[in-house]
A and B are shown apart, each in its own frame.
Chain A
Amino acid sequence: MAKKITIDPITRIEGHLRIDVEVNNGRVSNAWASAQMWRGIEVILRGKDPKDAWAFAQRFCGVCTTVHAIASIRSVENALNVEVPLNAQYIRNLIIAQHSVQDHIVHFYHLSALDWVDIVSALKADPKKAASIAQSFSDWPGNSVKEFEAVRDKLKGFVNSGRLGIFASGYWGHPAMRLSPELNLILVTHYLKALDYQRKAAQAVAILGGKNPHIQNLCVGGVATAVNVDNLATINMERLSYLKELMKETAEFVEKVYFPDLVILANYYKDWFGYGKGVDNYLAVPEFPLDTKNEKFELAGGVFFNGNIKPYKMLKNHSEQYLINSITESIAHSWYEGKDGLHPWEGETKPYYTDFQADGKYSWSKAPRFDGRPMQVGPVAQLFAIHASDNTEAKRFIDESLKRIGVEIYDLQSTMGRLVARGIRARIMAHLSLKFLDMLVENIAKGDTEYANHTDIPEGEFKGVGFHEAPRGTLSHWIVIKDKKIKNYQAVVPSTWNASPRDEKGAMGPYEASLVGNPVLEPEKPLEVLRTVHSFDPCIACAVHTIDPEGNEIVRVKVL
């Protein structure tokens, strides 16, 4: 007999996502992903000054603020064909890379680790044994007996006073949990510690962007961060060396704590490289421009079909017509009305709510398609593109990481593979941060202090697209400017690619397809479903977060 399970909402994500699965003989046989919140952002931007678009756009989402700012400013620069000075590119690259490091650390520890780590089991751990295990993985100074003992005792206090309630969605003692008490204690200790390191990345973004979470320093044609090594109020030598310190400390955390912890999970849950593949077409765009015309990029992009890690096509820059022309959005199963399969420049946002209809409309997410096909976006796609490119430096991180875990690159197409890919990407981003800082310093040392090309919005009609390879995958903002005002604006975000509902041909989106075939040991505690959904780092994004002190909104797992 098929059992139908509804999880509403999926917790430990940004935004409101509902997942429905049908379970047959202990396996998921069908799945639906439903974004439960309307995103009215496109409507808000209509009629606004294109120069201000980025400031609004970065409020689209709670956690991915800078990424929308970047994609938005690029869309206007693309429309008007504006060059961006090297210093500005490097400063933006640094913001992007540091934001990624912060995002990946938080995702691994705070948004997904508790799907694999049993806090309650950690109480039984022997701190000495835990320390000796942790020290065998890495020489990080935090892995001391004292530290592990302190965390274990603190946890005991919380459990004894019945106050682990915050982790209500943690399925303690679930038969699918496999780590020993010592490994659980190591991971929980690092979970608490990771908060200090995500902060260092946030500080780096704040120094460069003037403020964090909402950076203040972008302008069409560059950045507003004045560069003058001798001036106290600008990006100067003191700021630059403080930045370097912060970025080095975070990089050390990624190398000596985050990645070794990931190796532990990957080893104990190896079978999870066999679940959760889902849609096996991949899209990544090039990222980190290295020149003023956006022709040369540090990391390549690419299009991959049918699980083939040989690219169907490599993408060298953001102006490739194949990239720009291939994207459309289906609304056949989404709560919108209007014409189906429109290109984002022609895109419409007309809400048409019908309630959840498994065979009809069931999500606020549109279904983006590339060449008519669903695509998976995110770190796996980007690593495929790097692997297929001639960038030996970034590729070395991929090869070395995969070797340590004992898997091949095609194994990344799985639930555990997505976690691993994000960890590898964090290593690459931490490394690139230091590299871009050196490039910035070197460029300033050459005497180049340009940081913005002043740009006025001309009369007439212009179309532009801003692509950005964000932590969750390919992001694009599409803008149509008419008479100095925004005429149309559409954001095609990573989570709409991955959380996509079915399209007019009935093809599932990546979350949905990735759940089919997953084991579910206990339908009342669908831990395995969470593992796969969280592996995408869902960020349904961009919506309300009203506090509800009466506790009306409780996680609901309904089994029919």
Chain B
Amino acid sequence: MDNIVIFGAGNVLLSDEGFGVHFVRYLENNYTFPDNVKLFDAGTLGIMAMHVIEEADYLFIVDVVDVDGKPGEIRIYDKDDIILDRIPTKMSPHQIGLQEVLLLSEMRERLPKVVKLFGVIPENIEAGTTLSNSLEEKLPILAELLVKEIENIT
């Protein structure tokens, strides 16, 4: 059976920055998944969580994205968006960025078949341990979206 990893990234001490982690906790509290679905609270780990990424056949990353738009808006990117188009110009300042981690996995021939990034536009990334309302509201919506995504994997 295919391994599915839901990879929630972010720092929960910086309000909306921790969205991915809050999301994983939300799923833990509200859903029961079969054994082949792993919920991973990745925190702000980059390369040190690479093995979790490589365990997946389907990788769903949830994180905040710094793009123009209204707080709470969800943007979905697929594998090529993440590792092909943007790579040549983009270097994350944070250890080794997600893009690099994915390309390294590809070099090791262990890249998941499907990689999707569910990005949410943050409202507030000041110090704090809770989400803003506009992002809190998105937790169940994104959860439904993801569950549908998983149900479609046969």
Chain A positions near chain B (C-beta within 8 angstroms): 9-16, 38, 40-41, 43-44, 56, 59-63, 65, 102, 106, 110-111, 154-155, 158, 162-163, 165-169, 192, 195-196, 198-199, 202, 213-214, 542-555
Contact = CB atoms under 8 A, between A and B. Distances in A.
A284 B40 CA distance: 35
B87 A166 contact: yes
Interface string B65-97: 111000000010100011010111111111111
A168 B88 CA distance: 7
A551 B104 contact: no
B104 A195 contact: yes
Given A41-B127, A56-B129, A195-B104, A15 B93 contact: yes
Contacts of B100: 166-167
B112 interface: no
Question: For B11, B86, B109, which residue has the most chain A Cβ atoms within 10 angstroms?
Answer: B11
Which of under 10, 10 to 19, 20 to 34, or 35 or more describes the interface residues of B? 35 or more
Interface in B81-131: 81-82, 84, 86-100, 103-104, 107-109, 117, 119, 122, 125-129
A65 B65 contact: no
A65 to B, nearest CB: 7
Interface in B47-66: 47-51, 63-66
A554 B14 contact: no
Contact of B94 (A41, A43, A62): A62
Contact of A43 (B45, B51, B86, B127): B127
B47 A106 contact: yes
Nearest to A61: B44
Nearest to B84: A163
Nearest to A191: B104
Nearest to A155: B107
Nearest to A201: B48
Contacts of A543: 11, 14
A547 B107 contact: no
B111 to A, nearest CB: 13
25 contacts: A10-B93, A16-B93, A16-B94, A40-B14, A44-B129, A56-B129, A63-B48, A165-B87, A165-B89, A166-B99, A167-B100, A192-B104, A195-B47, A195-B50, A195-B108, A213-B49, A543-B11, A544-B14, A544-B17, A545-B92, A546-B63, A547-B117, A549-B81, A549-B86, A551-B86
B12 interface: yes
A544 B125 CA distance: 8
Contacts of B96: 12, 110-111
Given A12-B96, A195-B108, A214-B41, 13 more contacts: A12-B95, A40-B14, A40-B126, A40-B127, A44-B13, A62-B45, A63-B95, A213-B49, A545-B46, A547-B63, A547-B65, A548-B65, A549-B119
Contacts of B44: 14, 61-63, 545
A102 to B, nearest CB: 7
A554 B11 contact: no
Given A43-B127, A168-B91, A546 B45 contact: no
Contacts of B84: 163
Contact of A547 (B11, B42, B87, B92): B92
A221 B139 CA distance: 36
A214 B66 contact: no
Given A154-B107, A554-B90, A44 B127 contact: yes
A63 B49 CA distance: 10
A65 B49 CA distance: 12
B93 A9 contact: yes
Contacts of A40: 13-14, 126-127
Nearest to A42: B127
Contacts of B64: 546-547
B127 A546 contact: no
Contacts of B129: 44, 56
Contacts of B51: 195-196, 198-199, 202
B125 A213 contact: no
A549 B14 contact: no
Contacts of A43: 127
